[in-house]
Structure 1
Amino acid sequence: MQVRYKKYIKDIFLLIVVAILAIFLGKNIPHWYRLWQGPFKNGDYSAHVKSFPYKLTLYGTATCQHCQNARTYLRQAGIEFNDQMIDRSGDAARLYQQLGEKAVPVLVSDSKILVGFSPVRYQEMLKESRVR
């Protein structure tokens, strides 16, 4: 009888450990994957810049503070970019939807996109895109 209780306690303990491990991994694997993947998404995004005059396109909204910060940063750095307001232009919203992103701002070159605003990441993208 005691042997059976010990087995139950051991099985319950093992089940709890596995559940805790599953919860921990379930919460952290997406984060680790994004870190491993890096901040940039590579691909052919030339459709988002070829019909515009400049080599970079910024998708954003008029009310987003991060979008405003991105615009200010690019302007102060002397970088010319296509400013696409997705809340004011149906064409801009359609192009933005093609990217499949859920957040703004999105900075697009012909081969990379960067979601969100970070001065360090913007500088990296500008160097890699050879925009200046």
Structure 2
Amino acid sequence: MAKRPQLTGRAAILAVVVCAIAMSLAYPFREYIAQRRQIAELEQEQARALQHLRNLEDQRRKLEDPEYIKQLAKRRLHYCEPDAKCYVLLDGKKGTVPAKAERKQASVAPWYETIWKSVQAADTADGQRAAS
């Protein structure tokens, strides 16, 4: 009895056809996935834009209110209405420089001091070379 080949011609053609179909569907499927991802990103961006629009509309509504405008003027511009006694505290917690910022400013030397130190360092380096 003769052994039949394991892979017949029909089976080889069928395998080639299945591979061709799989290869022809791979690119559209990949594009479909990429488009779905892009749609999701655009929907998120749209949601952020709508939230920003709502915030701006809330702010616009507040700015149309005369009482809110008065509060802003008092707080930001230290506006005082006529016939009213208003006080501004200079040593209050608002508007003061934090201690960290003060330390940073104090630790940085003035520009002229930095230049003078570099001139002195260059002078001592030249003097050492001349002595050698």
Shared fold per TM-score greater than 0.5: no
Query: Higher helix fraction: Structure 1 or Structure 2?
Result: 2
When normalised by structure 2's length, the TM-score is: 0.34
Query: Higher strand fraction: Structure 1 or Structure 2?
Result: 1
Higher RCO structure (Cα 8 Å, ≥6 apart): 1
Larger radius of gyration: 2
